Amino acid sequence: MNFKSRLVPLPINNVDTDQIIPARFLKTISKQGLDRQLFYDWRYDAQGNPKPDFILNQPRWQGAQILLAGDNFGCGSSREHAPWALTQFGFRAVISTSFADIFKQNSLKNALLPIVAPPQAHAALFALVERDPNAEVSVDLASQTVTLPDGGKIEFPVDPFSKHCLLEGVDELGYIQKNEAAIASFEARRPVSINTLG
């Protein structure tokens, strides 16, 4: 996972999953077709027309693959529709100082990289975009770095297992299934009083 992109600045703290994709769009039984619903209530007015002042509607930001957001991105519900909508729109990474736990896990399972930047570097990225909206940064998962136009680097943490899965294309469910023997033996030694619906 290695790509270069401009940064779309969304300087808002605690962006919740109800903003990323409002709950009324969760009645779908498909994973697909969610790109239009991304940030729907911020993106469109009551008639469904794009709001020109919302950043994702501005032509200059089209095609950018990195969302630069405020602290604690993705708080709220467990809906995996949030990373589905973000990736279908074209994002491959979100940079923040922190992410909500469930959103972070959901993102890593959908090849959306949640990049945690230290507060100072995070602020510097916002300053960079303000100075030069066309500035591009490079994201490299293997070396866990974001490289700035001036060559400066921001290192970011990634769970080593998630990194391995993303880089090698490992299927997590397949990985769990390889532990069949351990699962069966765990079940065999459960206390009999564990109740079931059976």
Partner 1 sequence: MSHPRTIIEKLWDAHVVHEQPGAPSLLYIDLHLVHEVTSPQAFQGLRDRGLKVRRPDMTLATTDHSIPTTDRSLPIIDEIAAKQVAQLETNCRDFGIPCFGMHSEHQGIVHVIGPELGLTQPGMTVVCGDSHTATHGALGALAFGIGTSEVEHVLATQCLLQRKSKTFEVRVDGTLRAGVTAKDIILALIARIGVGGGTGSVFEYRGSAIRALTMEQRMTVCNMSIEGGARAGMIAPDDVTFAYVSGRPYAPKGAAWDAALARWKQLPTDDGAEFDRSIAIDADQLEPMITYGTNPGMGIPVTARLPEPSDLSDPLQRDSIVKALRYMGLEGGKPLLGHPVNVVFIGSCTNSRISDLRSAASLLKGRKVNPAVRVMVVPGSQEVKRQAAAEGLPEIFRAAGCDYREPGCSMCIAMNGDQLQPGEYSVSTSNRNFEGRQGKGGRTFLASPLTAAAAALTGVVTDVRTLL
Binding site for partner 1 (CB under 8 A): 11-14, 16, 18-19, 22-24, 26-31, 41, 46, 70-72, 75-80, 98-102, 105-106, 109-110, 159-161, 164, 172-173, 175-177, 179, 182-183, 186-187, 191-198
Q: How far is the CB of 95 from partner 1 (least distance, A)?
A: 14
At 167 the three-state DSSP class reads helix
Closest CA to 175 of 123, 109, 107, 86: 109
Q: How far is the CB of 27 from partner 1 (least distance, A)?
A: 4
Please give the backbone phi and psi of residue 73, each rounded to the nearest 5 degrees, phi first. Answer: -70, 140
Closest CA to 122 of 104, 153, 89, 96: 96
Q: How far is the CB of 132 from partner 1 (least distance, A)?
A: 20
Q: Of 150 and 180, which has the nearer Cβ to partner 1?
A: 180
Q: How far is the CB of 4 from partner 1 (least distance, A)?
A: 27
Q: Of 153 and 163, which has the nearer Cβ to partner 1?
A: 163
Query: Is the CB of residue 94 less than 8 Å from the CB of residue 67?
Result: yes
Q: How far is the CB of 84 from partner 1 (least distance, A)?
A: 9
**Torsional class of 63: left (φ above 0), alpha (ψ -120 to 50), beta (otherwise):** left
Q: Of 138 and 144, which has the nearer Cβ to partner 1?
A: 144
Q: Of 62 and 175, which has the nearer Cβ to partner 1?
A: 175
Q: Determine the Cα–Cα distance for residues 162 and 125; give it in Å rounded to an integer.
A: 25
Q: Determine the Cα–Cα distance for residues 184 and 171; give it in Å rounded to an integer.
A: 21
Q: Of 76 and 133, which has the nearer Cβ to partner 1?
A: 76
Query: Is the CB of residue 64 less than 8 Å from the CB of residue 8?
Result: yes
Query: Is the CB of residue 157 less than 8 Å from the CB of residue 95?
Result: no
